[in-house]
Structure 1
Amino acid sequence: MKDMGPINYCLGIEFKCTKTKIQMCQKKYIEDLLEKYKMTNCRTVTTPVEVGLKLDKRPSDAEEPQVPYRSLIGSLMYLAVATRPDIAFAVNSLSQFNESYGTEHWKAAKRVLRYLNGTLEYGLVFKKTEEPIQGFCDADWGNCGTDRRSYSGYFFRFGGAAITWEARKQRTVALSSVEAEYMALAEAAREATYLKNFLRNIGYQTDSINVKCDSQGAKMLAENPVHHARSKHIDIKHHFVRQALEDGVLNISYLPTSEMPADVLTKGLPREKHNFCRDGLGVF
């Protein structure tokens, strides 16, 4: 290894460092994408996903459109995991149809490009704050029209912006909204355990990580050690959150849905709520 001085550009990510903040963005990467897919002068939109959009697999008797759908989704995925958590839900939901996409899926994928064209210079902005590391998690029960599985989303914020996040469809069908939220909490608990150990290894001591969710029922279920009739069917792996609570890795607090920034990781939102969540992620 050798010291090459202050970082400016690495793996398609631009770093802008000042005395007060660090911004990570991928403006050049997005511009290249727009040029590749002939969307440089496209009309912009204010959200990456249309509210209430439900996509299904292409009918077996329908012809596959001759478009570079898989290539575009792969390119968008790097953005979603590197510096743009605000498109993570859109990319995750579209990636399900890599083997069964149609015209509607292609239009939805191009909408993400339209959104990126209007937010070219946006990226994660880190700054010095007194705020400790904290997590936010959410779930959207039965959101997938194909198999009725729910979507989970969580992120952890430190230094004013998200340092880790996930938007994905749950592996099993939840029988209630409380169960879906509880499963999302379990995913966040696993990430909180990793983060606490990682931060300790680099010399940053932290108390229990506060994870906020917008379901009082899921919070009560996690804190209640009694396996009553409403939870005995839940896969044992999801009860990891209870162990994390007992070990002091995290604590859970309630945050109303209207104030939950993790909403953007589980569903398409109207412009005002999307912008609120994007600010919560630290993407400016």
Structure 2
Amino acid sequence: MYAMLCTRPDICYSVGIVSRYQSNPGCDHWTAIKNILKYLRRTKDYMLVYGSKDLILTGYTDSDFQTNKYARKSTSGSVFTLNGGAVVWRSIKQSCIADSTIEAEYVAACEAAKEAVWLKKFLTDLEIVPNMHLSITLYCDNSGAVANSREPRSHKRGKHIERNYHLIREIVHQGEVVVTNISSEQNMADPFTKALTAKVFESHLYGLGLHSL
């Protein structure tokens, strides 16, 4: 759990999934845990490396859609990078049941936007990162969710979305965050919501600043 939270964002999704079954684990869950441990042993030299020239805080958000076959809930994933490496990341089951991929992505974007506001205040107080008065770019790979975050008015198709998730519109309106569309291939939050092929997974690790030295 310490590695997942502090040094190894690459196992955040897998550890989050198996931790949902702590109260009643089975043989399949134990096999999954052993696979995670084998992966950690094989990649024990991996570490987060920060070396970019630009001290710019950038966020990425993503969501799957109802992959939890029992609760029918989606998984939100987000990651923020600074100086070429990941500084904050999360993979968490959403508290509500989304009716569409747009809604699931919108909920994930709202959670990431609130995290961005907190990070902005924290880094501003530290006074070590310049340009924190500028808006934080939050990348999302769902154009519908991006458009919905900028829309000041509610429509019939979005009335069922819980009111507290519309906070992202206020955050965007205040200029704290700018939600921008990005392709799924370039979305660094992708590994926090779903299992990926080895090639795609490794390319995302490089983008997160996780290298073997």
**TM-score interval (norm. to shorter):** over 0.9
Q: Could you list the runs of 5+ residues in structure 1 that have no partner in the other structure?
A: 1-76
| Structure 1 residue aligned with 2:104 | 180
Contact 2:62–2:193 (CA<8 Å) still a contact in 1? Answer: yes
| Structure 2 residue aligned with 1:276 | 203
1:234 equivalent to 2:158? Answer no
- Opposite residue 249 of structure 1, the aligned amino acid is E
**SS of 2:49's equivalent?**
strand
> Which residue, 54, 62, 84 being the options, matches 2:8?
84
Shift of 1:131: 5.3
Q: Summarize the alignment of residues 126-275 of structure 1 with structure 2, pairs less than 5 Å apart.
A: 126-130=50-54, 132-203=56-127, 204=129, 205-206=131-132, 207-275=134-202
Greater share of helix: 2
Q: Aligned partners of 1:280 and 1:188: how far apart in 2?
A: 18
**SS of 1:155's equivalent?**
strand
- Opposite residue 190 of structure 2, the aligned amino acid is D
Q: Aligned partners of 1:144 and 1:202: how far apart in 2?
A: 39
TM-score norm. by structure 1 comes to: 0.72
**SS of 1:104's equivalent?**
helix
Shift of 1:128: 3.8
- Opposite residue 57 of structure 2, the aligned amino acid is I
Q: Aligned partners of 1:131 and 1:280: how far apart in 2?
A: 15
Shift of 1:202: 1.3
- Opposite residue 158 of structure 2, the aligned amino acid is S
TM-score norm. by structure 2 comes to: 0.95
Shift of 1:222: 0.5
Task: Give every structure 1 segment of 4 or more consecutive aligned residues whose post-TM-superposition deviation is greater than 6 Å.
Answer: none
- Opposite residue 40 of structure 2, the aligned amino acid is L
Q: Could you list the runs of 5+ residues in structure 2 that have no partner in the other structure?
A: none
| Structure 1 residue aligned with 2:49 | 125
Contact 2:51–2:84 (CA<8 Å) still a contact in 1? Answer: yes
Q: Aligned partners of 1:90 and 1:265: how far apart in 2?
A: 8
| Structure 2 residue aligned with 1:10 | none
Q: Summarize the alignment of residues 38-53 of structure 1 with structure 2, pairs less than 5 Å apart.
A: none
- Cα RMSD (Å) of the superposition? 1.0
* Greater Rg by CA: 1
Q: Aligned partners of 2:91 and 2:109: how far apart in 1?
A: 13
**SS of 1:248's equivalent?**
coil
Contact 2:79–2:188 (CA<8 Å) still a contact in 1? Answer: no
Q: Aligned partners of 1:240 and 1:123: how far apart in 2?
A: 35
- Opposite residue 110 of structure 2, the aligned amino acid is A
* Residues 104-125 of structure 1 deviation map (CA, whole Å, 9 limit, x = unaligned): 0000111101111110010111
Q: Aligned partners of 2:70 and 2:10: how far apart in 1?
A: 24
- Opposite residue 188 of structure 1, the aligned amino acid is A
The size of the alignment, in residue pairs, is 208
Shift of 1:221: 0.5
Q: Aligned partners of 2:188 and 2:55: how far apart in 1?
A: 16
Shift of 1:277: 1.4
**SS of 1:127's equivalent?**
coil
